Amino acid sequence: MALPVSMEALLQSDLLEDVAYRDDGLCVVGIFGKSNMKPGLLKESLINTLADKHIFSLFDGAEDGGTADSHIQAFYNQENRVLYLLLSSFCDSRQLLRACQSLTCSTGHSDAHEFWKGLDRKHCLHLLYMFSVCHVLLLVHPNQTFDVTYDRLFRALDALRQKVLPLIRAAIKECPVSKEWKVNCRPCPPRLLFVFQMNGTLKVSANGPESGGNPDKPKKHSPRRRLQHALEDQIYRIFRKSRVLTNQSSNCLFTVPANQAFVYVIPAADEDPVGTLLGQLRSNCILGDQDSTPVVSGPRRYQQMRRSARQSSCSGDSLSMPMSGQLVDCSLKEFLWQHVELVLTKKGFDDSVGRNPQPSHFELPTYSKWIQVASRLYQVLICNTDEELADLSTKVQSQLKVLEGFLDADTKFSENRCQKALPLAHSAYQSNLPHNYTTTVHKNQLAQALRVYSQHARGVAFQRYAMQLHEDCYKFWSNGHQLCEERSLTDQHCVHKFHLLPQPGEKPDMDCNPPILNHNSRGRSTSSCNCGRKQAPREDPFDIQAANYDFYQMIEEKCCAKLERIEFPVFQPSTPDPAPACNQAPRLPSEASGSADAEKLKEPSTAQSHTPGDTSLSLALSLGQSTDSLGPYGDGEGAETQVQQKRPSLVDRQPSTVEYLPGMMHSGCPKGLLPKFSSWSLVKLGPAKLYNCHTGLEQPGFLPGSSFLLPWDLVIRSRSEDNTGLTEPLNGGTSSWPAPNKTVGKRGSTGGLGRSRRRDDMTRVFVGFEYEDSRGRRFISSGPDKIVKVMGPGGAKDPATRVLNTDMPLYIPSPSQGRGLKPHFAQLTRLFIVVPDAPLEITLNPQIQPGPPPCPIFHPEKTDIMLPPDGLWVLRFPYSYATDRGPCYPPKENQPLNNYKVLRGILRATSANSAPQ
């Protein structure tokens, strides 16, 4: 083999050995270590020196494949029966540069750390392989200082070897080697030698006197040899302290000789390269002249070469033996060959020490036997390509976790640091926490815990333990500390921990996990019934039905169940399981006008084709459940006009009976849908005379002097004296007015006054906007910022035109504030209307905007309600407002109240002969 090959190529090739060497033993020498950034590669140059051939190119790295992974190259010197294995890894400058080039700027810190850990694991597996197949190992280091990180590396390799020893035994049990090899999984405990390269700053003469010493007392050893002895003592002491070396060599990862040198220091290069070359040429010429003996091979050739070298050093080269009597320093080849000679002569290594040293096993295999063992070990430890050994290789990979504690010091430090920071972060999370709390509190406390954690945690384990902190805090929160996230319609949280709502007919159960409970915010308020004559406490509602319907239905049974009322239309199902309408596109208020829809219905194509994409139509309309029909009309223009007049608008169509409106009725609702219940109430307390303007409303909860309705004077008929006889009587009877200039009484007198020729017939309507706060305090408002306050008889003096011609606020500050800092708001809850017994039409059309734009406009299920005459009517507004997207919460402390309002025009009065007022 003239050139080095990769380990895979060596194991797969069928090398034909010479017949003269086929039965001879084979010594395997492994070389590993580190290199610096100098141009010349140290490990490759050593093999060139040992083999006396230019085998490895020192400046071309194309033969290693150009990757950063560890790999082994082999060179077989068949004449000397030595196989050299050279391990290249990221410890070499060339491989390290390639590894750095493979990392990009986008590679994260954690990913980069995993990349280096992967290279480190591969390096350890290659080293374990070399410690399992080699007799002698050379550790090469680019300076003269021992790297103590090798101590941790060798302890990690020893622990890994003990873990995978049963797997290696199973792999080589069929190989033709001795029983001791199969049991110990190696031919012998390998001997580890150290080769250091002296730094240029410490360069001294090879055999010269020590500088600074006494020249009269020459030293026996040169400075380089004394450095070698010092390094040997230091290395042996370190390995013995860490128990890498023990008394019994068979149990150690490697051995060092007790009576032989195991450290060699390569002297620094001479600054005179020409003189160095001449000296080497002179020594080679002297060896060539004196070498007249026949050429032999093996150990005898080395002994003959060693004798000739000694003779030349004693006779020919007088400079190598100084006059001071120092011992001659041996060369690198002599340093290594004294150990190789023990292998080739089958003497083996006897490196056990102590009182009862146990002899270690030793075997010198032939090349063919060694190839069989090395090939199976290579498949198990490094290259997993053999299906037969795939299971063993997988098990070996699973044992690599034992390396992390020894090699990954950064991760170990980071984990210890992060583990110490976790309790501090947990304490920061749990500080000042209530027993149950919401998601917002959880996120705030978690952010505080992460800040504390980031102040103390460091290293590559930061992200992993930060995720653990997230999980720990979430488990703590969800394990009995999670507050129910549901908010009431008044924007208050449920006070219960996380729970489930009871199904219809199911009773609450606290013992379940999670418990089955109804929502409760512990908020209680006092509200009046539909008519306002009875008050009762109520729980803080969590759904719109409980707020606007259930409470009033419950209290109505005790008060106003028998009162006359105007019913609002609600959903009437035609199927046993109706469904709420979904995916309804909101419509603008301008699109809700009936005239525009009527114009669309005039087109035959629109009337006959209802596409599925038209979300403004209900399911009932799309199924053809409309009650209008064309009927048997004749042809012609007149018939077509009559048909168009008969066709109702979309507002007048029959609502859907298979799907209902999930929220309340508002301006953005699709047409043709009704809610399952009405959030409004319109009841009649009695006739108009039931209200006494001198005493006001006699109902509980009103503040003193604030229960008086506001008068609204309306002109019901206007006429002059010239046409008095042509008009109808006010009361609608058949009697006519008296003749001119006749007195009919005080109220009917028309002559003699001379003040005006017109006589207006007036009537009085009473209106009152009632506000109620959470404590049941009620009052009537005479303006957006004014409360009715009547101290004496006579009733309210302020006219109702102010409250009717302006936008009234939906919420105003309560006049009776509590002791707390939080202000109390009173909400518009009722509208009292006293309709007199007169030819007057009062139309009710309430429109509420319970929030800032784009909040929709809420209105009852029936608009433009005509109030019958002679009655005291009470319109009860909804307690809460909600759409299918969620509730409209009451205003906060810092929110302007003018965004929550009742639009003007809630009442409209019309007489027989006058315009609307």
Length of the chain: 917
Question: Mean pLDDT, to the nearest integer, of 350-365?
Answer: 82
pLDDT in the model for residue 671: 85
Confidence of residue 871 (pLDDT cuts 50, 70, 90): very high
- The token pair that represents 626 in the structure block: 């409309």
Tens of pLDDT, residue by residue over 113-137, are 777 777 888 888 999 999 999 999 9
Sign of the Cα torsion 85, 90, 91, 92 reads positive
pLDDT in the model for residue 304: 52
Q: How far is the C-alpha of 478 from the C-alpha of 500, rounded, in Å?
A: 14
Higher pLDDT, 562 or 747: 562
Which residue has tokens 């380990």?
Answer: 7
Higher pLDDT, 835 or 308: 835
Q: Are residues 41 and 181 in the same domain?
A: yes
Question: Mean pLDDT, to the nearest integer, of 795-812?
Answer: 89
Q: How far is the C-alpha of 676 from the C-alpha of 656, rounded, in Å?
A: 11
Residue 495 in domain: no
Residue 160 in domain: yes
Percentage of the chain with pLDDT > 90? 25
- Give the Cα-Cα-Cα angle 391, 394, 397 (nearest 5 degrees): 155
Q: Are residues 156 and 225 in the same domain?
A: yes
Contacting residues for 398 by C-beta, under 8 A, at least 6 apart: none
Q: How far is the C-alpha of 265 from the C-alpha of 177, rounded, in Å?
A: 36
Tens of pLDDT, residue by residue over 369-418, are 898 899 989 988 888 777 788 888 888 888 888 887 777 778 888 889 99
Collapsed DSSP state (helix, strand, coil) of residue 79: coil
Q: Are residues 409 and 379 in the same domain?
A: no
Maximum mean pLDDT: which of 305-309, 636-640, 780-784? 780-784
Q: Are residues 371 and 471 in the same domain?
A: no
Q: Are residues 829 and 767 in the same domain?
A: yes
- The token pair that represents 196 in the structure block: 């250091």
Asked if pLDDT for residue 419 goes beyond 60, the answer is yes
Tell me which of 424, 458, 478 is where a domain ends: 478
Asked if pLDDT for residue 668 goes beyond 80, the answer is yes
Tens of pLDDT, residue by residue over 22-59, are 778 889 999 998 887 665 567 777 888 887 777 777 65
Q: Are residues 834 and 693 in the same domain?
A: yes
Q: How far is the C-alpha of 60 from the C-alpha of 58, rounded, in Å?
A: 6
DSSP secondary structure, 707-760, as one string: -PPEEEEEEEEEEEGGGGGGSPPTT--SPPPPPTT----TTT--SS--S-SEEE
Confidence of residue 709 (pLDDT cuts 50, 70, 90): very high
Asked if pLDDT for residue 525 goes beyond 50, the answer is yes
Asked if pLDDT for residue 663 goes beyond 90, the answer is no
Maximum mean pLDDT: which of 165-169, 498-502, 782-786? 165-169
Question: Mean pLDDT, to the nearest integer, of 457-467?
Answer: 90
Collapsed DSSP state (helix, strand, coil) of residue 7: helix
Residue 864 in domain: yes
Please count the other Cβ atoms lying within 10 Å of the Cβ belonging to residue 621.
19
Q: Are residues 541 and 419 in the same domain?
A: no
- The token pair that represents 628 in the structure block: 């209008």
Round to the nearest angstrom and report the end-to-end CA distance of the chain: 118
Question: Which of 194-203, 262-271, 499-508, 845-854 has the weakest average pLDDT?
Answer: 194-203
Residue 46 in domain: yes
pLDDT in the model for residue 402: 81
Question: Mean pLDDT, to the nearest integer, of 474-493?
Answer: 87
Confidence of residue 360 (pLDDT cuts 50, 70, 90): confident
Single out the residue of 58, 57, 46, 42 nearest to residue 82, CA to CA: 46
Asked if pLDDT for residue 719 goes beyond 70, the answer is no
Higher pLDDT, 117 or 328: 117
Asked if pLDDT for residue 782 goes beyond 80, the answer is yes
pTM beyond cutoff 0.75: no
Tens of pLDDT, residue by residue over 609-650, are 333 333 333 333 333 333 333 233 333 333 333 333 434 444
pLDDT in the model for residue 448: 96
Residue 533 in domain: yes
Tell me which of 478, 509, 537 is where a domain ends: 478
Confidence of residue 723 (pLDDT cuts 50, 70, 90): very low
pLDDT in the model for residue 512: 81
Please count the other Cβ atoms lying within 10 Å of the Cβ belonging to residue 779.
26
Residue 618 in domain: no
Single out the residue of 903, 528, 816 nearest to residue 697, CA to CA: 528
CB 680 within 8 A of CB 875: yes
Question: Mean pLDDT, to the nearest integer, of 690-715?
Answer: 90
Residue span of the structural domain in which 687 resides: 523-576+656-717+760-916
Confidence of residue 560 (pLDDT cuts 50, 70, 90): confident
Single out the residue of 619, 679, 680, 681 nearest to residue 654, CA to CA: 619
Question: Mean pLDDT, to the nearest integer, of 199-222?
Answer: 55
Tell me which of 321, 353, 383 is where a domain ends: 383
pLDDT in the model for residue 562: 87
Confidence of residue 912 (pLDDT cuts 50, 70, 90): low
Q: What is the 3-state secondary structure (H, E, C) of 93-149?
A: HHHHHHHHHHCCCCCCHHHHHHHHHHHHHHHHHHHHHHHHHCCEEEEEECCCCCCCH
Q: Are residues 798 and 666 in the same domain?
A: yes
- The token pair that represents 724 in the structure block: 């008095």
Q: Are residues 375 and 440 in the same domain?
A: no
Dihedral angle, C-alpha 203, 206, 212, 215, nearest 10 °: -170
pLDDT in the model for residue 617: 32
Q: Mean pLDDT of all residues in the chain? A: 77
Collapsed DSSP state (helix, strand, coil) of residue 598: helix
Confidence of residue 738 (pLDDT cuts 50, 70, 90): very low
Question: Mean pLDDT, to the nearest integer, of 306-313?
Answer: 47
Domains identified in the chain, total number: 3
Q: How far is the C-alpha of 35 from the C-alpha of 39, rounded, in Å?
A: 10
Chain centroid to Cα 347, Å, comes to: 65
Query: Residue 618 burial by CB count (10 A; 0-12/13-18/19+): exposed, middle or buried?
Result: buried
pLDDT in the model for residue 653: 60
Question: Mean pLDDT, to the nearest integer, of 773-782?
Answer: 90
Percentage of the chain with pLDDT > 70? 76
CATH code (residue 189):
3.40.50.300
Residue 633 in domain: no
Q: Are residues 358 and 471 in the same domain?
A: no
Question: Mean pLDDT, to the nearest integer, of 442-447?
Answer: 95
pLDDT in the model for residue 209: 46
Residue 42 in domain: yes
Contacting residues for 5 by C-beta, under 8 A, at least 6 apart: 13, 73, 74, 75
Single out the residue of 494, 565, 550, 532 nearest to residue 707, CA to CA: 532
pLDDT in the model for residue 269: 66
Q: Are residues 770 and 689 in the same domain?
A: yes
Question: Mean pLDDT, to the nearest integer, of 792-808?
Answer: 85
The residues with which 396 forms a beta bridge, in sequence order, are none
Higher pLDDT, 902 or 281: 902
Q: Are residues 225 and 185 in the same domain?
A: yes
Confidence of residue 91 (pLDDT cuts 50, 70, 90): confident
Asked if pLDDT for residue 179 goes beyond 80, the answer is yes
